[in-house]
Amino acid sequence: MKAIVQDRYGPADVLQLAEIDKPVARGKEVLIDVRAAGVDIGTWHLMAGRPYMVRLAMGLRRPRARVRGRDVAGVVEAVGPEVTRFRVGDEVYGTCDGSFAEYAAGAEKRLARKPSNLTFEQAAAMPISAGTALQGLSDLKSGQRALIIGAAGAVGTFAVQLAKHRGAHVTGVCSTTKLDLVRELGADEVIDYTQDEITEQYDFILDTAGARTLTELRRALTPHGTLMIVGAETSGKLLGGLDRGLRALLISPFIRQRLAVLVSTEKAEVYDELRELIEAGALKPVIDQSYPLADAASAVRRLTETHARGKLVLTI
Ligand SMILES: NC(=O)c1ccc[n+]([C@@H]2O[C@H](COP(=O)([O-])OP(=O)(O)OC[C@H]3O[C@@H](n4cnc5c(N)ncnc54)[C@H](OP(=O)(O)O)[C@@H]3O)[C@@H](O)[C@H]2O)c1
């Protein structure tokens, strides 16, 4: 089968189209005939081996697992002997390792039934980013004033819709050309971060952009407000900006504001909940662009070198 593989860490050029053996579904695994795969920033981390601590888990000199890709949508081709929830022919979505390929073997517990009203391409845009937004906003309450920083990004486009669905008054922060998109997704107010500062206070801040200091974020929080740190790309080759999150966790017990760091989990229960929201019309993916499998490197380049609107997807 065809797959996007890498044999060393580095920029997007390390991703190559190759012919490799089709995987086999073992135990509780499902073999997926992949129809589409989402491109997420986590895939970039694994490709680049950055921050360097990624390499401790993935392989010090080169990635042990050669095939990239995590978000997946496709059709069940075969099931392992211990699989109980899926049958051959089921349409599924979720996450697995190695979704940039014609076939991928994924754990049953990280897959769910595909939303009936989404194409494979749309479904593949959902799992990681929408799952992150859902978990990041789990403590947001109706009537609260929510600030979504990075509102036009992969996580942010879902977060704006989910916060609105929760009954919050939503302000989205993004750059000039995306103000309309964020308004269309339901934001009550928008802030263009290239022109304006954040001047008001909010009960709940979801920060996916990682561009502001803790002091700046705390200033924008009400005295008992919650800060949920999702993204932290802006500093540190070693820790990738995690130091800001660590400082937040250290300070939080001693102040009235709650400073939290999201570590989202990839699991079927989250994707089942997302499916219900999608089928109820409360949530929809925003797809910036889709690419054929062979152009995976271009998709990852766009992810890092430009500012995508929502998600990038590979169709297989
Ligand atoms: N904690 C977790 O479990 C978890 C899970 C998934 C992802 N993440 C992290 O979440 C972060 C966001 O991921 P993503 O996939 O949504 O990335 P993304 O699509 O690149 O979105 C990031 C957004 O940040 C915006 N941005 C950049 N600079 C900004 C600034 N100074 N002020 C306000 N917004 C700014 C960009 O807006 P413009 O394009 O308009 O400039 C962009 O839309 C990443 O750091 C990722 O690693 C964490």
Q: Rounded to whole angstroms, how far apart are CA atoms 23 and 14?
A: 22
Domain assignment present for 103: yes
Residue 271: predicted pLDDT: 98
Q: Lowest-confidence range among 7-16, 140-149, 298-307?
A: 298-307
* Mean pLDDT across 64-89: 97
- 196-205, 245-254, 303-312: range with lowest mean pLDDT: 303-312
In angstroms, the CA 53 to CA 58 distance is 9
Q: What is the pLDDT of residue 243?
A: 82
**CA–CA gap between residue 185 and residue 187 (Å, rounded):** 6
Ligand 1 pocket residue status of 174, Cβ below 6 Å? yes
When comparing pLDDT for 48 and 305, which is higher?
A: 48
Are 229 and 145 in a shared domain? yes
Q: What residue's CA is closest to ligand 1, atom 5?
A: 132
User: Cβ(160) to ligand 1 under 6 A?
Assistant: no
Whether residues 183 and 88 share a domain: the answer is: no
Q: In which band, very low, low, confident or very high, does the pLDDT at 234 lie, cut at 50, 70 and 90?
A: low
CA-CA distance, 305 to 285, in Å (whole number)? 22
* Ramachandran angles phi, psi of 280, nearest 5°: -85, -5
Please state the rounded mean pLDDT for residues 67-74: 97
- Per the structure, how many domains does the chain have? 2
Q: Residue 60, SS3?
A: coil
What pLDDT is attached to residue 241? 67
Does some domain include residue 266?
no
Whether residue 118 is predicted with pLDDT greater than 80 in this model: the reply is yes
Establish if 256 belongs to a structural domain: yes
Q: Ligand 1 centre from 279 Cα, in Å?
A: 26
- Residues 100, 18 share a domain: yes
310 and 248 in a common domain = no
Please report the atom of ligand 1 found closest to the CA of residue 40.
15
pLDDT > 80? residue 308: yes
In a domain, 298, yes or no: yes
Q: Are residues 137 and 209 in the same domain?
A: yes
Q: What distance in Å separates the CA atoms of residue 46 and residue 63, rounded to the nearest whole number?
A: 8
pLDDT value of position 201: 98
The residue with greater pLDDT, 243 or 43, is: 43
Residue 136 covered by a domain: yes
Which domain does 245 fall in, by range? 130-261
Confidence at residue 237, expressed as pLDDT on a 0 to 100 scale: 60
Asked whether residue 239 carries a pLDDT value surpassing 80, the answer given is no
- Residue nearest ligand 1's atom 10 by CA: 231
**Cα distance from N-terminal residue to C-terminal residue, the chain:** 11
What percent of the chain has a predicted confidence (pLDDT) above 70?
A: 97
Domain CATH number, residue 291: 3.90.180.10
293-306 tens-digit pLDDT: 999 999 999 988 87
226 and 175 in a single domain? The answer is yes
Asked if residue 272 is part of any domain, the answer here is no
User: Which one of 40, 41, 212, 216 would you pick to mutate in the ligand 1 pocket, going by the greatest count of ligand atoms within 8 A of its CB?
Assistant: 41
**CB distance 192 to ligand 1 below 6 Å:** no
pLDDT of residue 235: 52
Structural domain includes residue 268? no
Strand-pair partners of 145: 169
Q: What is the pLDDT of residue 236?
A: 57
Query: How far is 59 from 143, CA to CA, in rounded Å?
Result: 46
Which is the closest atom of ligand 1 to the Cα of 132? 5
- Distance in Å, CA 267 to ligand 1 centroid: 22
Ligand 1 atom index nearest CA of 261: 1
Mean pLDDT of 43-65: 91
pLDDT digits (tens, 9 = 90+) for 250-279: 999 999 999 999 999 999 999 999 999 999
135 and 122 both lie in a single domain? no
Chain-centroid distance of CA 73 in Å reads 15
Q: Is 193 in the pocket of ligand 1 (CB under 6 A)?
A: yes
Q: Are 71 and 48 contained in the same domain? A: yes
Looking at the structure, tell me whether residues 143 and 245 fall in a common domain: yes
Task: Summarize the confidence of residues 3-19 as an average pLDDT.
Answer: 96
Q: What is the mean pLDDT of residues 136-152?
A: 98
Domain assignment present for 270: no
C-alpha 161/C-alpha 120 separation (Å) is: 21
In whole angstroms, give the CA distance from residue 80 to residue 250.
44
Q: Are residues 106 and 134 in the same domain?
A: no
Average pLDDT on 227-242 reads: 72
**pLDDT above 60 for 142:** yes
Q: Is the pLDDT of residue 188 over 90?
A: yes
**Residue type for position 20:** I
Same domain flag for 143 and 121? no
Average pLDDT of every residue of the chain: 95
Spatial separation of the C-alpha atoms in residues 65 and 4, rounded to whole Å = 11
pLDDT at 233 over 80: no
Residue 247: predicted pLDDT:
92
Token representation of residue 229:
């740190």
Q: What is the mean pLDDT of residues 129-136?
A: 98
Residue 156's CATH number: 3.40.50.720
Angstrom CA distances, 124 to 1, 15, 112, 120, 121, stand at: 20, 20, 12, 6, 5
User: Do residue 122 and residue 134 come from a single domain?
Assistant: no
Ligand 1 atom showing the smallest separation from residue 209 Cα: 24
| Beta partners for residue 156, in sequence order | none
